[in-house]
Structure 1
Amino acid sequence: MLFHRIFGDPLDRDFPGSRTAYFAMGCFWGAEKLFWQHDGVLSTAVGYMGGQLANPSYEQTCTGRTGHAETVRVVFDPSVVGYEELLRVFFENHDPTQGDRQGNDVGSQYRSALFTVDDEQADTAARMRATFQTSLSAAGYGSITTTIDAAGQFWLAEELHQQYLDRVPHGYCPVHATGVTCG
């Protein structure tokens, strides 16, 4: 059983009344840290979504041939933080116009993607993407490449990747924020 290094709970713990969201925004190490530090977040885990191979490894995903994106699963208390606020964290902390890359990390596994669990999340994600596109365009950026797809199977990454930047505080995985705010 894997335990969260920050929260101390098992990674598969059920939190009654919680919601779950999935964010792919480049390297999952730095993205996970952004979310675990946010009020209302109960748990985070890194893994792989959006591909064709069952239970891929990090090495397989890094080839770019499995179709998976490095993804952060965020379990949150909706009475403390809403999905829209978590989308702000997502959009404001990476460059969603870069396609299959974030900075020096290149490949489809580093693409910008939202995997939604229901129609409400899908609608909110589409609305926020459109709003952020207006802000990015005004700042001289190109088109957002973030995809919005229904969440499929989330494959948990290996233990050494979970809460990696807690274990290796100065590890590589910079935030690639544009400096543009969402609305």
Structure 2
Amino acid sequence: MFDILSFSEKLDMPKKEDALVGRSEPIATAKTHYVNGHNLKGPYPENMRHIIVAMGCFWGVERLFWKISGVYVTAAGYTGGFTPNPTYEEVCTGKTGHTEAVLVVYDPKILHLDEILKTFWEQHDPTQGMRQGNDIGNNYRSGLYLANDEDLKIAQKSKAQFEKALQSKGLGSITTEIALEGPFYFAEDYHQQYLAKNPNGYCGLKGTGVTCPIS
């Protein structure tokens, strides 16, 4: 088994050599999206693009994005850490380095990356470090993980714009991790589209009330 880190330890990232070992094979997950029936893990249509977002507990985050016109599929998962193919229980220990994240596959002819970024910034508080509201730990940190250098630059520019808007309202600096994507590990079946299956389930999303000035 694995030990759960103390409160203070969960606010730090583990070193790679200290992370849980994980496994070589992916954990079992759903085959199709519960809401729209699309293949969860692909293949996706050739024209689709994607981004990985982390905004705290992935249940509410996934629902936020599957409702947006132009989104082809969403999936809950884990990214940003060290442990290959982790389980939910392992991620919750804080010893994988992963954050709860959502893969958003979208049609760029319908939905622009800037619109996704605007939703991302406005619908959570990106200034909280290793937490989101009452959800505390490195597995709840804010993050943007991009598919290529062009998207990365767009995301970094949006961060600078929103940070100015936040600071004009007396709020702190953005702590969001912005990087090129690494491996994305799909979460267990029961996490996929959780709030479609459990409409009254927990959703921790809460924005700052500040508008992101992306044109």
Q: TM-score, normalised by structure 1?
A: 0.98
SS at match of 1:115: strand
- Which residue does the alignment assign to 1:54? 84
CA distance in 2, matches of 1:148, 1:48: 15
What amino acid is the match of 1:7?
Answer: N
- Which residue does the alignment assign to 1:80? 110
Deviation at 1:174, TM superposition (A): 2.5
Deviation at 1:10, TM superposition (A): 1.6
What amino acid is the match of 2:182?
Answer: G
Match of 2:186 among 145, 156, 170: 156
- Which residue does the alignment assign to 1:7? 36
CA distance in 2, matches of 1:55, 1:119: 26
Spell out structure 1 runs of 4+ moving beyond 2 A: none
Are the counterparts in 1 of residues 156 and 178 from structure 2 also a CA contact under 8 Å? Answer: yes
What amino acid is the match of 1:27?
Answer: C
CA distance in 2, matches of 1:88, 1:122: 15
CA distance in 2, matches of 1:104, 1:116: 27
What amino acid is the match of 2:32?
Answer: F
- Which residue does the alignment assign to 1:100? 130
Deviation at 1:2, TM superposition (A): 1.5
SS at match of 1:121: helix
1:90-112 CA-to-partner distances (Å, cap 9, x unmatched) read 10000000001111100000001
* Percent identity for Structure 1 against Structure 2: 49
TM alignment of 1:1-183, pairs within 5 A: 2-13=31-42, 14-183=44-213
SS at match of 1:24: strand
CA distance in 1, matches of 2:184, 2:204: 24
Deviation at 1:175, TM superposition (A): 1.3
Decide which structure has the larger Cα Rg and report it. Answer: 2
SS at match of 1:48: strand
Q: TM-score, normalised by structure 2?
A: 0.84
Deviation at 1:133, TM superposition (A): 0.3
1:67-101 CA-to-partner distances (Å, cap 9, x unmatched) read 00101000000000111110111100000000011
CA distance in 2, matches of 1:149, 1:102: 19
RMSD: 0.8
- Please list every run of 5 or more consecutive structure 2 residues that lacks an aligned counterpart in the other structure: 1-29
CA distance in 2, matches of 1:67, 1:28: 16
SS at match of 2:195: helix
Deviation at 1:16, TM superposition (A): 1.8
What amino acid is the match of 1:63?
Answer: T
